[in-house]
């Protein structure tokens, strides 16, 4: 300690001094005395703190009683430490170690009023919750372990008897978990009142004096034996059933596998035959496809040739249209330049005229100025303004006229150019689309000749309608023939019928060669030399009559002698459109 050396120094000074009182009263020794007193005080406080600071082990509970904060009767600390003030506080320990209590309970009445013995072992300990610790500090602080056991034992006996009285023996014996839960539910609140908690309950045995539990055990054993025998018999039966089912499944699976094998063999043979047939068919189809593709390629080459020729012709027409458009554009530019030159010439002319008039006005002004300055000023003001206004008006008129002519020429040139360009594009699109359409028609018909005949057939109804419209106002209801006879001995009606029959062969030729149309068989047919096979006329000519109809003879022809009565014949049918076309000169559409 530091105090001892200081005291030793003071004692040495007192021994060596001649005058002890003077030495003590020396001013130099007072600081040393003060320092020694402070050191003594600090050392005393340190020793007091060390002595009164209490540490709490982990298996104990430190209880500080006396003057504590919070209005509690004691302050309980589990682990750590605390300073215990002297005089006003005191301290003690409560052990937290478990306490085992043997409960040899005998002759406890159950719910059936049967006395049972339930020897058991209960394990309790001081609780660590704040409320439980306060209860333990109040009721167990000064008690030893035996005293604590006796208090807990009395509580356990009472609560255990109460739980047994509320349960049947069978429930106690069969459902031990429910029995233990009831014990904990009933016992824990009572133990917490004295600061203890229940850790474990161990029921060692349950017996009764009347042998009821033993009889229950024998009954359960007998039932278990019978159940075991029944289970063995049931398992043997199930074993035999499984064996029979296994045998049946084996036979079924063998038969099914045999069936699947036979089916697989037949399916393989069938697939083989089908595959061979498919290969043969693919070979034949391939050969026919190759022949067809070769012919198709030849036709495509011919078609491309025709299309190329049509496209070349269309391009030529488009080039001509473009050239014409370029010519028109050049002419428009020429007219525009002429208009600009005319505008410039007119502007220069008007400017010159204005300059001449300005010079004349200036000369007149100078003459007026020579007469009098006052008159000059007035005349100048009166003459310059109209002259300048007239000059500006002439210039504006000339420029407006020139611009009007220029705009008109530009508009006319642009209109002509756009019109020709649109016509050229339209002609090009028409020819291109017509070429594409003819190309598709030729491809669909299988040749140019078949396409031509099909197009003629499409326009027959229009031609017939046009021919019928042309002769719609002519009435053919009756044909009146004034027959005066002829030198050949035949009448005019007979000649008319003969001439009508002679027109059939040429008409049939025209329809077949141009339009590709053949008349029905009942009207006749054409031979190789162009003669109607139905009937032939005399004098090297040919005539056509209705198949199966009577020939016109002098005996059957209607005729009248000269000067005889008038004779009329009804027209049996309308004139065909093809005949009208030939007689009116209408060209076929294509």
pTM above 0.75, yes or no: no
Residue 121 clears pLDDT 90, i.e. is over it: yes
Lowest mean pLDDT among 215-224, 267-276, 388-397: 215-224
Sequence-distant (6+) residues with CB within 8 A of 286 are none
Lowest-confidence region among 28-32, 391-395, 487-491: 487-491
* Confidence category of residue 411, pLDDT binned at 50, 70, 90: confident
> DSSP label at 564?
S
Of the candidates 127, 128, 123, the residue with the CA atom closest to the CA atom of residue 153? 123
Distance CA 77, CA 94 (A): 10
DSSP structure class, residue 194: T
Share of the chain above pLDDT 90, in %: 5
- Written as six digits, the tokens of 101 are 């209590």
CB atoms within 10 A of CB 257: 10
Least reliable range by pLDDT among 207-211, 291-295, 387-391, 526-530 = 526-530
Q: Which residue is it, tokens 């502007």?
A: 347
Q: Beta strand pairing status for 115-126 and 53-56? A: unpaired
Q: How confident is the model at residue 124 (pLDDT cuts 50, 70, 90)?
A: very high
User: Any idea which residue has 């167990």 for tokens?
Assistant: 140
Single out the residue of 170, 177, 178, 154 nearest to residue 206, CA to CA: 170
- Contact predicate 171/179, CB 8 Å: yes
Between the alpha carbon of residue 47 and those of residues 4, 38, 41, 44, 86, the distances in Å are 16, 14, 10, 5, 13
Q: Which residue has the tokens 């002419």?
A: 331
Residue 14 has pLDDT above 60, yes or no: no
State CA 354 to chain mean position distance.
Answer: 81
Q: Are strands 99-109 and 115-126 parallel, antiparallel or unpaired?
A: antiparallel
Position 547 scores a pLDDT of 36
For residue 240 the two structure tokens come to 């035999």
Residues in the chain: 590
Q: Which residue has the tokens 């233990």?
A: 180
Task: Give the pLDDT of residue 575.
Answer: 42
Report residue 282 as tokens: 């693919």
Distances (CA, A) of 497 to 454, 494, 552, 569: 33, 5, 8, 12
| Cβ 466 vs Cβ 586: under 8 Å | yes
Rounded CA-CA distance 243/245 in Å is 5
Number of H helices, E strands in the chain: 13, 11
Categorize the per-residue pLDDT at 449 as very low, low, confident or very high, splitting at 50, 70 and 90: confident
Where is pLDDT greater, at 515 or 186?
Answer: 186
Using one digit for the tens of pLDDT, what is the confidence trace for 319-337? 887 878 788 788 878 888 8
Phi, psi of 401, rounded to the nearest 5 degrees: -65, -40
- CA 364 to chain CA mean position, Å: 94
- Residue 533 has a pLDDT of 39
- In tens, the pLDDT along 341-385 reads 887 888 888 888 888 888 878 877 776 666 767 766 676 777 777
Do strands 74-77 and 60-66 pair parallel, antiparallel, or not at all (unpaired)? antiparallel
Report the alpha-carbon distance of residue 413 to residue 354 in Å, rounded: 34
The confidence score (pLDDT) of residue 122 equals: 93
Domains and CATH numbers, the chain: 1-56 (no CATH), 93-210 (3.30.479.30), 477-573 (no CATH)
- The answer on pLDDT for 80 being more than 80 is no
Residue 571 reports pLDDT greater than 70: no
pLDDT surpasses 60 at 486? no
- Give the pLDDT confidence score for residue 488 in this predicted structure: 55
Question: Tens of pLDDT along 191-239?
Answer: 999 889 999 998 888 888 777 777 776 777 777 778 887 888 888 888 8
**407 band by pLDDT with thresholds 50, 70 and 90:** confident
- Alpha helices (H) along 1-81: 3-16, 20-24, 30-52
**114 falls in which pLDDT band (50, 70, 90)?**
confident
Band of pLDDT at residue 123, cut at 50, 70 and 90:
very high
pLDDT bin (cut points 50, 70, 90) of residue 515 is low
Task: Write down the pLDDT at residue 361.
Answer: 80
CA 521/CA 329 separation, integer angstroms: 62
Collapsed DSSP state (helix, strand, coil) of residue 503: coil
Q: Which two tokens stand for residue 399?
A: 């420029």
- The beta strands (E) that lie in 114-217 are given as 115-126, 196-203, 207-208
DSSP character at residue 575: P
The two three-digit tokens of residue 365, written as one number: 């002004």
pLDDT higher than 70, residue 544: no
The pLDDT of residue 491 is above 70: no
Task: State the CB neighbour count (10 A cutoff) for residue 414.
Answer: 12
- Under 8 Å between Cβ of 210 and 114: yes
132 Cα distance to chain centroid: 68
Distance CA 118, CA 121 (A): 10
| Token pair 């419209």: residue | 469
**pLDDT single digits (tens) 572-587:** 444 444 443 444 444 4
Sign of the Cα pseudo-torsion (497, 499, 503, 504, in order):
positive
- What integer pLDDT is reported at residue 555 of this predicted model? 39
Torsion from C-alpha of 174, 179, 181, 183, nearest 10 degrees: -170
Which pLDDT value is given to residue 4? 47
Cα separation, 575 vs 464, in Å, equals: 10
């Amino acid at each position: 300690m530091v105090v001892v050396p200081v005291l030793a120094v003071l004692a040495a000074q007192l021994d060596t001094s001649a005058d002890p009182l003077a030495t003590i009263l020396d001013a130099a020794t007072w600081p040393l005395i003060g320092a020694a007193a402070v050191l003594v005080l600090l050392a005393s406080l340190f020793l007091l703190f060390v002595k009164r600071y209490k540490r709490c082990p982990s298996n104990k509970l430190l209880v500080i009683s006396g003057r504590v904060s919070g209005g509690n009767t004691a302050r309980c600390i589990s682990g750590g430490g605390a300073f215990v003030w002297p005089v006003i506080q005191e301290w003690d320990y409560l052990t937290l170690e478990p306490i085992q209590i043997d409960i040899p309970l005998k002759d406890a009445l159950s719910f059936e009023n049967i006395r049972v013995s339930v020897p058991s072992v209960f394990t309790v300990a001081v609780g660590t919750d704040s409320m439980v610790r306060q209860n333990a500090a109040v009721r167990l602080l000064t008690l030893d372990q035996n005293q604590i056991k006796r208090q807990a034992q009395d509580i356990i006996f009472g609560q255990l008897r109460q739980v047994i009285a509320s349960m049947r023996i069978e429930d106690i014996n069969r459902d031990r978990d429910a029995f233990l839960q009831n014990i904990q539910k009933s016992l824990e609140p009572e133990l917490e009142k004295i600061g203890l908690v229940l850790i474990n309950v161990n029921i060692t045995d349950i017996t009764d004096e009347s042998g009821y539990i033993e009889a229950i055990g024998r009954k359960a054993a007998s039932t278990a034996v019978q159940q075991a025998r029944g289970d063995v018999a049931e398992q043997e039966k199930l074993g035999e059933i499984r064996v029979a089912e296994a045998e049946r499944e084996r036979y079924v699976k063998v038969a099914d596998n045999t069936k699947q094998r036979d089916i697989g063999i037949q399916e393989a043979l069938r697939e083989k035959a089908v595959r061979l047939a498919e290969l043969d068919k693919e070979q034949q189809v391939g050969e026919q496809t190759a022949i067809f593709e070769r012919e198709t390629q030849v036709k495509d080459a011919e078609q491309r040739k025709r299309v190329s020729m049509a496209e070349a012709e269309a391009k030529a027409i488009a080039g001509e249209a473009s050239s014409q458009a370029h010519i028109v554009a050049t002419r428009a530019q020429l007219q525009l330049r002429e208009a600009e030159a005319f505008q410039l010439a007119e502007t220069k002319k008007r400017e010159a005229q204005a300059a001449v008039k300005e010079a004349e006005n200036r000369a007149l002004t100078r003459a007026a100025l020579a007469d009098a300055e006052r008159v000059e000023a007035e005349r100048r003001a009166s003459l310059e303004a109209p002259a300048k206004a007239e000059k500006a008006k002439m210039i504006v008129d000339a420029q407006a006229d020139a611009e009007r002519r220029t705009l008109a020429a530009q508009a006319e040139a642009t209109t002509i150019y756009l019109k020709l360009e649109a016509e050229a594009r339209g002609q090009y699109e028409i020819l291109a689309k017509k070429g594409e359409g003819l190309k598709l028609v030729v491809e669909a018909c299988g040749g140019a000749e078949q396409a031509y005949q099909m197009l003629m057939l499409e326009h027959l109804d229009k031609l017939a309608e046009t021919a019928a419209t042309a002769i719609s106002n002519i009435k053919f209801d009756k044909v009146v023939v004034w027959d005066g006879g002829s030198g050949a001995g035949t009448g005019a009606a007979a000649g008319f019928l003969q001439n009508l029959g002679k027109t059939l062969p040429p008409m049939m030729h025209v329809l077949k060669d141009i339009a590709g149309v053949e008349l029905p068989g009942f009207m006749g047919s054409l031979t190789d030399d162009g003669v109607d096979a139905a009937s032939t006329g005399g004098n090297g000519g040919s005539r056509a009559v209705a198949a199966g109809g009577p020939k016109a003879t002098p005996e059957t022809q209607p005729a009248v002698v000269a000067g005889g009565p008038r004779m009329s014949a009804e027209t049996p049918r309308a004139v065909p459109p093809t005949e009208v076309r030939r007689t009116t000169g209408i060209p076929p559409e294509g």
